[in-house]
Amino acid sequence: MEHIGIETAQNVVVHQEVANLGDRIVAYILDTLVLVVWIFICVFLVVASAVAWENPVAIGFFMVVALLPYMFYHLICEITMDGQSIGKRAKKIKVASVDGGQPRLGQYLLRWVLRPIDGFYYLGLVVVLINGKGQRLGDLAAGTTVVSLKPRMRLQDTLMTEVKAEHVVRFPEAVRLNDAQASMIKEVLNNTQVKDRWTLMEEMATKVRTVIGNPGEGMKAMDFLRAVLQDYVYLTGQQGAKP
């Protein structure tokens, strides 16, 4: 499985698993099916309207309005669904920024604008195969890629300490995280070689507080991150806890 090094603001490279080509193709097929269903609905409504309406201008206006969601489907989905579409969510993959942050509106827009070019003679597919970082032309231009949210292994297998069966949860909001975010927290905690380790942990703690909506007042960044990670592992049933 290919991985991409996502560089944080502190110039620390955190590795994430690139979505495999099979998942991306299946996600594309699922999204295409959604759009095909939408087109059939639009055609049916237009035909039904043509019977009831005699004004061709009104029918044309209805067709334009009905087809707008088809044209903007991927852009709207990625903006409103945290980098995912219906197909991507089904396959547990999402768009991510290569700078380590959440993709910005401009990045989503650039990916969408270049989508027709990527589809020209399957150019995007060829670029993904050659690139090795899960990036099509739109991703290369926008500074994004598509990563997998599927856990590579149980988080408990790589935690620094065991999460026991009698573990007391301090942050129930930890379930708002996903596996990719939890893996990134784990990697930051385990990264002892980086020069600005403590600054990096403070930065990560700030992002986690925003995601879970709990500041963990009075806790140091390392203690906060470790507690949130252990709670996540425990609450999501990945702990393999020992009695």
Give the Cα separation of 81 and 27 in Å (integer): 14
4-8, 26-30, 81-85, 164-168: least confident range: 4-8
Distance of CA 223 to the CA centre of its chain: 27
- Per-residue confidence (pLDDT) for residue 29, from 0 to 100: 95
Are 99 and 6 in contact by the 8 Å Cβ rule? The answer is yes
The secondary structure of residue 100, as a DSSP letter, is S
CA-to-CA distance for 42 and 60, rounded, in angstroms?
Answer: 12
Whether residue 76 contacts residue 83, with contact meaning beta carbons closer than 8 Å, is answered with no
Please tell me whether residue 145 adopts helix, strand or coil conformation: strand
Q: Residue 10: what are its φ and ψ, rounded to 5°?
A: -95, 15
What is d(CA 3, CA 14) in angstroms, rounded to the nearest whole number? Answer: 10
Give the pLDDT of residue 193: 65
User: Which structure tokens are listed for 43?
Assistant: 């055609």
Q: For the chain, which residues make up each domain, given as ranges? A: 3-28+90-148, 31-74, 155-235
More confident residue, 75 or 172: 75
Token pair 């991510």: residue: 96
Beta bridge partners of 95: 146
Per-residue pLDDT of 23-54, as tens digits, reads 999 999 999 999 999 888 877 877 776 655 66
pLDDT at 66: 74
Mean pLDDT for 211-240 is 82
Token pair listed for 25: 């193709």
Q: Within a 10 A sphere around the Cβ of 32, how many other Cβ atoms?
A: 12
Lowest mean pLDDT among 136-140, 142-146, 167-171, 205-209: 167-171
What pLDDT was estimated at residue 79? 95
10 has pLDDT over 50:
no
Percent of the chain residues topping a pLDDT of 70: 78
Closest CA to 112 of 142, 133, 80: 142
More confident residue, 243 or 237: 237
| Orientation angle between helical segments 21-52 and 123-131, nearest 10 degrees | 160
Q: Is the pLDDT of residue 3 over 60?
A: no
Q: Does the pLDDT at position 72 exceed 90? A: yes
Considering only residues 228 and 197, tell me which one the structure prediction assigns the higher pLDDT.
Answer: 228
The CA distance from 65 to 230, in Å, is 49
pLDDT (average), residues 187-198: 74
19-23, 90-94, 195-199, 238-242: which is most confident:
90-94
Which of 62, 39, 66, 41 is CA-nearest to residue 52? 62
pLDDT at 101 over 80: no
What are the phi and psi torsion angles at 13 (to 5°)?
A: -90, 120
Strand partners, 96: 145
